[in-house]
Amino acid sequence: MKMQKVLEFNGMSFELLLADRDKEDFPRERFRAILRIKNISISKKKIAIKEDGTKYISIKHGLEYAYHIKPYQFALTDGTFILPDSFADVTIQFDVVKEAQNGDRMEIELRDLALLPLVKWDGQWYWGIDEIEDKRISSNSNRELTYEEKKSLKKQLKSKIEHFESIDEKFGLSLQNFSFDILDNSTLKLFCEVLALNGEVPKEGFNVEVAIYDTDNDIICLKSISKYDNEFKGFEVFGFGPIKLDIPVDEIGKIRFYPTR
């Protein structure tokens, strides 16, 4: 088993700060695990820990499910958000276990995301990185969409496209004919035609960038394609992707295309 102290997964880092009896929890002194969950991505992350899916497997006591999660917002079905470059310390309590032994393991279930295993070995807790069960792989979000579903999603996305002709003109460009290839509920490709304005090909290099926002107006993805001096010949179709998002495609708030240098 490959093991490490700090786990990075899906734009977040997970570190076990403490795992022992909580003597402030008098008189029960339930066993507690304190996780530090840090958002290391550029967009906010929603975390929901499933109480009845998170468990402790004890060499001495057998299987036990989590008794309580604090703060309670992390145990709600919808979970709660952690902002970029921020962290939250989450306490998970177990009712029966009093003392951890080598060979014990905890399995932390992130709702609709993954099952993350912790194993105690040589007196230390480690993440079993090759035993992670990634629920996104088999989830409904990755199923093949029907033709009608794709058609409906494309129509929604068309209405969310933004670009500014006045900015295009400053670069001597015209961006147009924006289109999509939707691979599944959270993966898509984006395309746009890039033309030289009035047939005058820019001699200087430029970038075309696409920014994808969620419904809270937070940027969740940024992609860029560059053309260097004299590389652009006057017309080209730019393709971005495949782009795997942390949200379903139908939760996109807007998509902006724009040139930069």
What are the tens digits of pLDDT across the range 129-187?
A: 888 988 765 444 455 677 888 888 888 899 999 999 999 999 999 999 999 999 888 88
204 token code pair: 């200087």
Q: What is the pLDDT at residue 138?
A: 47
Count of CB atoms situated within 10 Å of the CB of 261: 9
End residue of a domain, out of 75, 109, 138: 138
Q: Could you tell me if 38 and 157 lie in one domain?
A: no
Q: What is the pLDDT at residue 61?
A: 80
Q: Could you tell me if 114 and 8 lie in one domain?
A: yes
Count of CB atoms situated within 10 Å of the CB of 97: 24
User: pLDDT tens digits for 205-255?
Assistant: 899 999 999 888 889 999 999 998 888 989 999 999 899 888 888 889 999
End residue of a domain, out of 138, 170, 191: 138
Q: Could you tell me if 14 and 133 lie in one domain?
A: yes
Q: Could you tell me if 120 and 180 lie in one domain?
A: no
Q: Could you tell me if 23 and 131 lie in one domain?
A: yes
Question: pLDDT > 70: what percent of the chain?
Answer: 96
Q: Could you tell me if 220 and 182 lie in one domain?
A: yes
Count of CB atoms situated within 10 Å of the CB of 106: 26
* Spatial contact of 206 and 173, defined as CB atoms under 8 Å apart: yes
Partners of 251 in the β-ladder: none
CATH number assigned to the domain comprising residue 114: 2.60.40
Range of the domain at 8: 3-138
End residue of a domain, out of 82, 113, 138: 138
142 token code pair: 């990755």
Domain count, the chain: 2
